[in-house]
Amino acid sequence: MKLEGKTCLILYNVASGKPPEEMAEADFESILNERSDTKAVRSSLKELGMNVRTLALRKLTSKFTAQLEEIKPDLIFNLCETLYNHKHKALAEMYVAGWLELLKIPYTGAPPLSLVLALNKMRCKQIARASGLPVAPSILAQVGDMPNLDAITPPFIVKPVREDGSFGITKDSVVKTPKEAEEQIKIIHETYKQAALVEEFIEGREVTVPVFGNPPRVLGIGEIDFSVLSAKEPKIKSYEAKWKSDAPDLNAVFPAEIETTLKNRLEKLALRAFQTLGCRDYARIDFRISENRRPYILEINPNPDFSPEGEFGDSARLQNLTYTDLVKEIVENTLARGNAVDFE
């Protein structure tokens, strides 16, 4: 497919400490240094000979929509993760994707339904379980309720049901008794004003599987190296471990050293999870592997980090693919899809 001369608008969000009413609608060609993925995609698109515009989006308005229709991009490379500093990241992701659907502009990445299903951890796990995918037993504790936890086996991990990026997950989230779980449930209810998911904690390894393309394929399998954590800390990627600049490096190491049988099993499960949730172009499936070598789906992320220094860049290099190769394939798939509204 000829890409040279086509126009691609890169859409990405800009964080702001201001309330929505004080934010500008959007900034064109601005603040690229805040997002490494935006800079990398922009560079790759230019390498492919495309006309590139960038848009730092804070909120959706009729004025901005009119500006977008004036540009008339052939497609949008959607790297938007939130709007209005929305406290529920993936919910805002869904708004942006739905808006692009209604404008009938081809865009990259997951459709609205996949994004909103992934937002609710319990719903996502229920869908996975109903599709025959392995997930750990769990119970939902609604705000104001304290459930009976006898149906699941400790240790537990307690987390907000509608958060992303490990928000609400700390070293205290893994507990050994129902009483300790109840204390964490109260913290979730009071702090996040939402239900808490109480899940059997799977002791063992954690791996991440980037899935890419149409039809989808596994690029590689990486493993989180928890050896950098102290012996007293639970082997999890907490909020501090993921976001604090001075925290130990818990990025996935590619390739994971996994025997062939288990590797094949993980790849099949990851592809099924990708298709079950209706993901598109790229997604990341995370697993915990129990001590008896049984994999459990930890998370299905339809809009993961797409920076070259992240899992997709690392796994692509295992396949002798450049970052530009990934961008090119995504753009070609998006243009081939066209602008049909996808609410399936």
How does pLDDT run across 192-202, given as a tens digit for each residue?
Answer: 899 999 999 99
Residues above pLDDT 90, as percent of the chain: 69
Q: Are 279 and 300 in contact (CB under 8 A)?
A: yes
Please check whether residues 77 and 167 belong to one and the same domain. Answer: no
CA distances from 287 to 87, 207, 208 (A): 26, 5, 6
Reported as a single tens digit per residue, the pLDDT across 297-342 is 999 999 999 999 999 999 999 999 999 999 999 999 999 998 755 5
Please check whether residues 170 and 296 belong to one and the same domain. Answer: no
Q: Are 252 and 311 in contact (CB under 8 A)?
A: yes
Residue 335 lies in a domain: no
**What amino acid is encoded at 134 in this protein?**
P
**251: DSSP letter:** P
Q: State the residue range of the domain holding 143.
A: 138-200
Whole-angstrom Cα distance, residue 51 to residue 212?
24
Q: What was the pLDDT predicted at 91?
A: 60
Domains: count for the chain: 3
Whole-angstrom Cα distance, residue 117 to residue 197?
15
Above 80 in pLDDT, residue 122?
Answer: yes
CA distances from 62 to 66, 112, 329, 339 (A): 6, 20, 32, 20
Whole-angstrom Cα distance, residue 214 to residue 212?
7
Q: What is the mean pLDDT of the chain?
A: 88
Residue 321 lies in a domain: no
Long-range contacts of 313-317 (CB under 8 A, 24+ apart): 314/220, 314/222, 314/252, 314/254, 315/210, 315/219, 315/220, 315/221, 315/222, 315/254, 316/212, 316/219, 317/254
* C-alpha triplet 302, 25, 120: angle, nearest 5°: 25
Q: What was the pLDDT predicted at 34?
A: 60
Whole-angstrom Cα distance, residue 344 to residue 324?
30
Q: CB-based burial of residue 7 (10 Å sphere; 0-12 exposed, 13-18 middle, 19+ buried)?
A: middle
Please check whether residues 251 and 226 belong to one and the same domain. Answer: yes
Q: What was the pLDDT predicted at 154?
A: 96
Q: What was the pLDDT predicted at 280?
A: 97
Reported as a single tens digit per residue, the pLDDT across 174-191 is 999 999 999 999 999 999
Q: Are 162 and 88 in contact (CB under 8 A)?
A: yes
Reported as a single tens digit per residue, the pLDDT across 17-72 is 443 333 344 443 444 446 789 999 999 999 999 999 988 877 777 877 887 888 89
CATH, residue 32: 3.40.50.20
CATH, residue 163: 3.30.1490.20
Above 80 in pLDDT, residue 247?
Answer: no
